[in-house]
Amino acid sequence: MSVRSGRGADAVRPIEQQIILVTGATDGLGRAVASELAGHGATLLLHGRSEERGKRTLAEIKARTGNSKLKYYRADFASLSEVRDLAERIEAEHNRLDVLLNNAALGIDPVRRVTADGHESTFQVDYLAPYMLSYLLETLLIASAPSRIVNVASAGQAPINFDDIMLERSYDGMQAYCQAKLADVMLTIDQAAELSGTGVTVNCVHPAFNMPTKIVTPMFTPQSEIADGVR
């Protein structure tokens, strides 16, 4: 099998030869996808913001799949400097990256929060962080082609008010989430065009409705149960 590098390359590598970075891999959809890919023999780079949950996730996926080709990277996407550090570590430790799965996200937060970078937190974690990570890893992805970027978006989208993107004047958790997901779709379209001809494909997906994850479950759980700690 010939290994493609940049333009003019050939077939996608078998899954067991691929190196895949999954962000937000310690819970929900990211964890399920990581476990499935590990079961097929891929090398998994798993990202999360908790060292404890990361170690637990590695142990559980290894026990379930028998795959030891797993490594955890801690980074809080509420800090853009940590996003940059994550990209630098990936580039320093790996000479190839076949897939970047931008999955990490905040859900619908009823309270407006601001990151240390001064951005509304949902917009930063759900959009600015994957935007930054994708472009910082672009050179590595091109050198690894055929490769791909997959952005986890949503069918829930809302127009962006460019006069108040950070929702300083009027905050609504649903608007914050849905406008960030529309921004992810816009990022996908733009970057797919920019990378046309490089061997890197860029796609976004709406994974499913009503998944039993921390983002989805609270929307269908009575507030009284949430207050009592039922998730």
- Is the four-CA dihedral 216, 217, 222, 226 of positive or negative sign? negative
- Which token pair is 16? 């067991």
**Alpha carbon distance 52, 70 (integer Å):** 15
Across 80-107, b (16+ Cβ under 10 Å) vs e yields bebbeebbeebeeebebbbbbbbbbbbb
Q: Two tokens at 169? A: 């004047």
Which residue do the tokens 């949902």 mark? 122
Nearest to 27 by CA among 221, 226, 213: 213
In the block, which residue shows the tokens 């913001």?
49
Known catalytic residues are 177
